[in-house]
Structure 1
Amino acid sequence: MESRAGWSDPFVERVGQEVRRRRQAAGMTMQQLADASGVSVRMLSHIELGEANPSLVTVAKVAHALGTDFASLARQTRPGTLVVDAPGTATGIWSSTAGSHAVLSAASTLRPSAALWDWTLVPGDSYQAEPDPPGSEELFLVISGVLTLIADGHDDTVLDAGASARLATDRGYGYRNDGSKPVRFVRVAHVTA
């Protein structure tokens, strides 16, 4: 079963507000941001109004054109040498109609940043991602269940609980749960700008 859902409403609203705030602070028109990002004015308008369900790649392009990255648009970062988030305060980013979900747990303030995600895929569910910019990669650690990694140019790779992997994400890729139990995994995404 392919999931037919997307970003959470609070995430879409937060990204839209942050894109508008950063665009206006930079003195950019929507057309200038469209030219710099390669994203249409119409899509940018929908993003700023919180009406779009953009891909991660689209959000990353807009973020790059604004001089930042996906994690900075998605999650409020606080300065400091040690920043701790209480349980339950992580940002819910994606969910599927089947009940799968992904949470952005933490993100670095370095550029490009690294983002720590906590994913749960229910049995039979999947997530298909668009290619990231060249040089991007993800690290995975399966906490429970069995995760199948899908990457263009590679056979499907099955990771049991406790297994870890590194995947170049500059190609089509995705995650799937072919098992009978939910799979929970953490991933660290390093998307170059």
Structure 2
Amino acid sequence: MADDLDHALRTLADNLRYHRAQRAWTQDDLAQASGVSRRMIAALEAARNNVSLSTLDHLAQALSLTFAELVSPRLSAGTGQVQRGVTLWTSSHLGSQAVLVNTAPARQGTELWHWHLGPGDHYVAAPDPQGMTELLYVLHGELTVEFTDRQVRLEAGDSLTYPSDQPYTYRNTGPAPTGFIRNVTH
């Protein structure tokens, strides 16, 4: 878990520096725009400081970003690449944590589905209208998503974002039931 938090802090540091530089802002400029101290910003950009979620909200707003854009690896959403969640908050209580699983853009609406597939079962999906995106998160078991030109195998804790205006199939190729969350945005 400490490695996850270190990775999240390095990602945040990279994103802060990148988006601040895109605006040609100094750390003082960002501090003034966000209400977060320059010392805190310097520590975050050096990946040396844990931070509250509300402070991240202030920084994201000042940079005209969503919270997810600030803390997620750049170019992850919608790339069709398997993503692992990023732990952004932990507590001294064993097992307490907040994990940003994955992000996807939405224009009009979002659907959240909880799926279960038995061993050997599958579901063949018709392509959705152009512009729709699916985000999957595997809760338990194994899920293979088959596209026309490739297959992507996901295990518990993996997520995948892809445009769903193409044929695809969900397939449980494992020996145990598979449970996953399906989020559709349009």
TM-score (norm 1): 0.47
Say which one has the larger Rg.
Answer: 2
**TM, length-normalised to structure 2:** 0.49
